[in-house]
Chain A
Amino acid sequence: MGAKYKTEPLKCWDKAKEIRLNYYKNFATAHEKGGLRWAGGAWSFDAIPAGLGDDVYPLTGEPYGAAVAFNKDFALKCHEAVEKAGYARDLCSYMRNYWGSILLNKYVFGGEFPKPDFIWQDHICCSHAKWYQVVRDLEGKDIPMHCIDVSVGPYEELTDNKLDYVVGQMHDGIEWLEAVTGRKYDDEKLIRAVHDHCRSESIWAEVCALNKTVPAPLDEKTMYSLYVHGTLNKSSKIVADFYEELRDEVRDRVKRGIAAVANERCRVMSDTQPPWAFLSVFRYLEKYGCVSVGSLYTFGLIGMWEIKEDGSWGPRKTPQEEGIEIKDRDKALRILASWELNKPEWQHFYFPQLKSEMMIRIAKEWKLDGVLLHYNRGCEGLSLGIAENRLALKEAGFPVMSFEGNMGDEREFDEAQTMTRIDAFMESLDFEKDVS
């Protein structure tokens, strides 16, 4: 079977790469420009340190860990260094890649590992709570650290008291930032960053929603290189503007019927972080005309969603679109906290069934033939409950293939066996390899 649809590369691809590389370079060279470096998780409220100035550069740990994972040789050196230092090999593999870089004093983007000036973290899982504590052990106790506890339960159970609890920590955090950096905090910059934060996340959801189209304008392997910007610095104008440009291009692809996979005849989604060193899995699917249109992970880690009038999932309206005016710090922080606690990926830390409901919604609305579940040994947080998700998806009538692996430690992934498993799954769905 030959090509059914036209396909073409993304025009904004090079820009996506450039923004990402500049981000890592800016962190490394921040001091040369008189700026500051902060480190923390990709789930951190990054709009808040933005109030310290435009020369304050973040390094988020998870995408850094993924970048290391993509470089198999360096990742292995990191794992060995971490194990030699006495840490267990079944800990979060992103965290181990990050610690390994510190121990080796090597930045995967070149040069020595840049030491942060302060740590700005929030606690979404056990690993996140310990990650930067160990960073301080390794880098030096002189690095100040502020952590925000966000364990307030799922969004549907959010109360004013719970919101106050998180917002209160944010207020404390701003005072702490002023104290440890000696800089005066600028609320106008905070308000601008909160707007850009919401804009980035709403537009990314819009991009993902466009993938409901048949043929899908984007495949998940490509989406990994695009959603990453939201994990790096979602509150920056650069990212929000880039997502607008991307959204416009994807809209145009939909209008012109441009497909990600020219022979698309089967649609699946994945789940959790992929084994980064083996994204070849997604190209292998294409041999069957199978496109992975995304996942709750790619849609919901950055994308912010709401149920539209017709009952379907669509991008959440930003505060600006809702006509909400942000005039002061407290309002900005309350909007930021409330917005972020609604993040889809945040919900299933509490109940697996919340994740199952969202996955079934995606399977239906994105017109899927099946689901590939990655039992990711590298991430306890996002893999917890995944076997229950499998059962729920099957009960809802969606065929599921599961495979074990690790997002950041290739020693726990068997490429040949995974491909064999894909063969059996595709065969069971009555799809044959495209030999043309």
Chain B
Amino acid sequence: MNVAGIDCGAKNVKALILEEGKIIAKSSVFSGFDQKAAAKEALDLVLKDAGLKKEDLSHITATGAGKEEVSFSQGTITEVGANAKAINFLFPSARTVIDIGAEEGRAIKISEKGKVVDFAINEKCAAGAGTFTETMARALEIKLEEMGALSLKSQKAVPMNAQCAVFAESEVVSLIHTKHTKEDIVRAVHDAIADRIASMARKIGIEKDVALVGGVARNIGFVDSLKRDLELDLLIPEDPEFSCALGAAYAAVEKAKGG
């Protein structure tokens, strides 16, 4: 049986196909303004990669901020629910999932069966999300991909007080003018986000093991900051940004089996 999970996120649409429970293909395209078209493009790409046709799929489940735009899906699941399913499969010992996407940060407490016990989502603010790091990269005139490695070279912690992306940007500018190194400033940015995310996760009660997913999990500098803040190690899947799509695909398996 083949099924697909589509995560129509704020920045990228991720698509993934499972064949008998194993991932056989993945795709990711820019969401853009036309999420409907982006979702279709992501599906076409993943089908091509898998050598399948749409009719070969027993079920398609959509998730993500634009899940209702995925007109060809037969069902939907929230990002919270999708992450719980995916992480329960990938890391059965995990009881807390931290997901940081482009526009939202989430902390989810899950049971040993992968059921959502509690969750918290960042409020009307970008300071706990991936877009924040992108904005800071622009302010520092560096590439987003460079931030992680730069941050690890930092020699000292610089406090950054702003809890808002807009004010943080002006704080970064101030730090630049006061001759702090880029390495230290980047670490300050990561520490600030990590602090916000950790605080949100503590609201629901952190229970080990803790998994980190979402595109920001690829940022080794941020991962380092979050580990230090939480004082524990993190389980990170190979493709952390595909966690929601994977969870949606597992939901599709359940639906295809009549669940």
A residues with CB within 8 A of B: 387, 394, 399-400, 402, 404, 412-414, 417, 420-421, 423-425, 427-428
Contact = CB atoms under 8 A, between A and B. Distances in A.
Given A424-B119, A427-B81, A428-B116, 16 more contacts: A394-B118, A399-B118, A400-B118, A402-B120, A413-B124, A414-B123, A414-B124, A417-B104, A420-B121, A424-B79, A424-B116, A427-B116, A428-B80, A428-B115, A428-B117, A428-B119
Contacts of A413: 124
Interface in B88-133: 104, 115-121, 123-124
A424 B124 CA distance: 17
A202 B4 CA distance: 57
B78 interface: yes
B70 to A, nearest CB: 15
Interface of B: 65, 77-81, 104, 115-121, 123-124, 203
Contacts of A424: 78-81, 116, 119, 121
A399 B80 CA distance: 15
A428 B81 CA distance: 7
A404 B65 contact: no
Contacts of A400: 118
A424 B120 CA distance: 10
A421 B121 contact: yes
B77 A404 contact: no
15 contacts: A387-B203, A399-B118, A400-B118, A412-B124, A414-B123, A417-B121, A423-B78, A424-B78, A424-B80, A424-B119, A424-B121, A425-B119, A427-B78, A427-B81, A428-B81
A424 B204 CA distance: 15
A413 to B, nearest CB: 8
B123 to A, nearest CB: 4
Given A394-B118, A399-B118, A420-B65, A427 B80 contact: yes
A198 B80 CA distance: 47
Contacts of A404: 123-124
The 7 tightest CB contacts between A and B, nearest first, are A428-B116, A424-B80, A424-B78, A404-B123, A414-B124, A427-B81, A423-B78
A414 B123 CA distance: 8
A153 B119 CA distance: 35
B207 to A, nearest CB: 13
Contacts of A387: 203
Contacts of B118: 394, 399-400
Contacts of B124: 404, 412-414, 417
Nearest to B120: A402
A1 to B, nearest CB: 16
A425 B204 CA distance: 14
Residue of A400, A412, A428 with highest tally of chain B CB at under 10 A:
A428
A400 B120 CA distance: 10
Contacts of B120: 402
Contacts of A421: 121
Contacts of B119: 424-425, 428
Given A394-B118, A427-B116, A428-B116, A420 B78 contact: yes
B194 to A, nearest CB: 21
Contacts of B80: 424, 427-428
Contacts of A394: 118
Contacts of B115: 428
A400 B119 CA distance: 9
Contacts of B203: 387
A394 B205 CA distance: 11
Nearest to B76: A423
Nearest to A423: B78
B170 to A, nearest CB: 20
A417 B122 CA distance: 10
A83 B40 CA distance: 47
Nearest to A403: B123
B256 to A, nearest CB: 17
A166 to B, nearest CB: 38
Nearest to A422: B78
Nearest to A402: B120
B188 to A, nearest CB: 26
Contacts of B77: 427
Contacts of A414: 123-124
Nearest to A404: B123
A394 B120 CA distance: 14
Nearest to B77: A427
A293 to B, nearest CB: 22
A427 B77 CA distance: 8
A417 B65 CA distance: 9
A417 B123 CA distance: 8
A427 B1 CA distance: 25
A362 B65 CA distance: 34
A402 B118 CA distance: 10
Nearest to B75: A432
Contacts of B78: 420, 423-424, 427
Which of A387, A399, A423 has the most chain B CB atoms inside 10 A of its CB? Answer: A423
A427 B110 CA distance: 13
Nearest to A429: B116
Nearest to B121: A421
Contacts of A423: 78
Contacts of A412: 124
B252 to A, nearest CB: 15
Contacts of B123: 404, 414, 417
